[in-house]
Amino acid sequence: MTTDKRALDDLERNVLDMARLLNKHGQQLTIGTPEAIAAGPRDEEPAMIFMTIGLRGELNQEHAQAAAAALPKMRTTYPNAVIYMVVAGYDDDPREVHEIPEAREFFIAVANAARLYGSADVARAGLHEHMLGVLALCGALWDVAPSQVQITGREDA
């Protein structure tokens, strides 16, 4: 199966936007594969890791398992980092990620493979607080109902 071009275009655009924003604030963007980040040196400075866990057209159990396996390695290597999971290829889709069936099912598969069953698991994994809402809206968490999540910044919210 070939990678969906939209996913690669989204990744490129997101990385360039992130690099510009960080540069504007005198910071540098460091890019690495999940394996390289997980194997990297310990960093005592707080950081945010944007972890692309899947690409449009390639959201399958194998990739969900790989993403789940990388999470604890990153948490151990970078204990002060906050991890934000991203699925690429849907930037031009007007729906929220939890409204896209294949993305929603993929987030559920990653959560199950990573044993992220509730809000305490999400916090323990070092995931960004926004990920709690995403996983809840996908229906992946037992202790946070989708109806409990408030979406801000949308005209219809």
Per-residue pLDDT tens over the stretch 23-49:
676 666 666 665 665 566 555 555 778
Q: Where are the beta strands (DSSP E) in 4-78?
A: 47-55
Query: Which amino acid, one-letter code, is at 70?
Result: A
Mean pLDDT per block of 10 residues along the chain (157 residues) reads 65 71 65 60 64 91 94 84 88 92 97 96 91 94 87 57
Residue 110 backbone dihedrals phi, psi, to 5 degrees:
-65, -45
pTM of the model: 0.76
